[in-house]
């Protein structure tokens, strides 16, 4: 008997249902998606949380960092993802510049994510004073917030680049402090990115909200990866924590190359790819 029917019968996940499953020891699965087919695939695979990450700026839209992507661009991606999911919790990343200015700006941005794109929750980066004030304000407005501490790509320049965080006593204390501050501010869950596994193991027992790791080892409640990384849709250097489960870019390239070769040789289209003319129509036309 397949496990799929039970999964497809599931209701959409919610922050409390995910917290209950994590508390029961179930590992939560989160993946990014930026369009309808990817959301469908994540849904069919039984993923618990789909993140419309601002990583889409790079892997989907081709920017060279997450910084330039606009809220309007994120909303287009998020709407497609929402349409592709039925049971996964849809979390939308607040892009850089869309929440830092004031609590009012953060609430207005989050409301757009919920009303226009159908987001179930939003995610924002950081655990300092500004980030925790925004988490509190958005949560007070009734929108669940996922935090994100450790390596925070939107402010990677200030952190000194895309390297693992929390590797000195002082830096480890800062990550622990940020994680607890995000929880205290009312986040329903948080992402721990690129920190030593031992540090995640210290932080995790101090949290009562689910911690989702990416490059944070296995002592957490779940894992997230960027879809394009795990599918092999990205080229060049990959972070240490990336595991590739497929070679989709190669499959796409091979498929398009085979099509191109057949167009050039005349093998495509074959007679069976064309439409037949009903009897007599051609004679009448020529006559
Ligand atoms: O934007 C993103 O993909 C993320 C994940 C790395 C957690 O924030």
pLDDT by residue for the chain (287 residues), tens digit each?
445 555 446 799 999 999 999 999 999 999 999 999 999 999 999 999 999 999 999 999 999 999 999 999 999 999 999 999 999 999 999 999 999 999 999 999 999 999 999 999 999 999 999 999 999 999 999 999 999 999 998 887 777 777 899 999 999 999 999 999 999 999 999 999 999 999 999 999 999 999 999 999 999 999 999 999 999 999 988 999 999 999 999 999 999 999 999 999 999 999 999 999 999 999 999 98
Which atom in ligand 1 lies closest to the alpha carbon of residue 53? 1
Nearest CA to ligand 1 atom 8: 53
Q: What is the 254 CA–ligand 1 centroid distance (Å)?
A: 29
- Cis ω for the linkage preceding 245 (within 30 of 0): no
Secondary structure of residue 94 in the 3-state scheme: coil
pTM as predicted: 0.94
Question: 100 by DSSP, 3-state: which?
Answer: coil
Mutate to test the pocket of ligand 1, among 187, 191, 240 (most ligand atoms within 8 A of CB): 191
Measuring CA to CA, how many Å separate 276 from each of 137, 282, 286? Answer: 64, 10, 16
Do residues 212 and 192 lie in contact, with contact meaning Cβ atoms separated by under 8 Å? yes
How many residues make up the chain in this entry?
287
Q: Taking the CB of residue 285, how many other CB atoms lie within 10 A of it?
A: 8
Stated as kind and residue range, the H or E segment containing 147 is: strand 145-150
User: Which listed residue (73, 100, 193, 272) is catalytic?
Assistant: 193
From 93, 125, 151, 187, mutation site for ligand 1 pocket: most ligand atoms within 8 A of C-beta: 93
Rounded to 5 degrees, φ, ψ at 268 are -120, 130
């Amino acid at each position: 008997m397949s496990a799929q029917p039970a999964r497809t019968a599931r209701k959409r996940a919610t922050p409390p249902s995910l917290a209950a499953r994590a508390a029961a020891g179930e590992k939560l699965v989160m993946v990014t998606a930026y369009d309808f087919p990817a959301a469908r695939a994540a849904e069919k695979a039984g993923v618990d949380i789909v993140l419309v990450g601002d990583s889409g700026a790079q892997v989907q839209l081709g920017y060279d960092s997450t910084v330039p992507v606009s809220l309007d661009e994120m909303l287009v991606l998020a709407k497609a993802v929402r349409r592709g999911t039925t049971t996964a919790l849809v979390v939308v990343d607040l892009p850089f510049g869309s929440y830092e200015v004031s609590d009012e700006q953060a609430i207005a941005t989050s409301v757009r994510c919920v009303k226009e794109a159908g987001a179930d929750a939003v995610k924002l980066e950081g655990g300092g004073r500004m980030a925790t004030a925004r988490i509190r304000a958005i949560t007070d407005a009734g929108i669940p917030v996922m935090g994100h501490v450790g390596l925070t790509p939107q402010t990677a320049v200030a952190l000194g680049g895309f390297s693992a965080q929390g590797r000195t006593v002082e830096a480890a204390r800062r990550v622990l402090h940020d994680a607890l501050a995000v929880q205290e501010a009312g986040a329903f869950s948080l992402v721990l990115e690129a920190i030593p596994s031992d540090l995640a193991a210290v932080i995790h027992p101090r949290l009562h909200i689910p911690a989702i790791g990416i490059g944070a080892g296995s002592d957490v409640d779940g894992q997230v990866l960027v879809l394009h990384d795990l599918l092999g849709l990205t080229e060049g250097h990959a972070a240490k924590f990336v595991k590739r489960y497929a070679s989709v870019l190669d499959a796409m390239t091979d498929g398009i190359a085979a099509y191109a070769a057949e167009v050039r040789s005349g093998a495509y289209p074959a007679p069976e790819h064309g439409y037949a003319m009903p009897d007599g129509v051609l004679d009448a036309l020529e006559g």
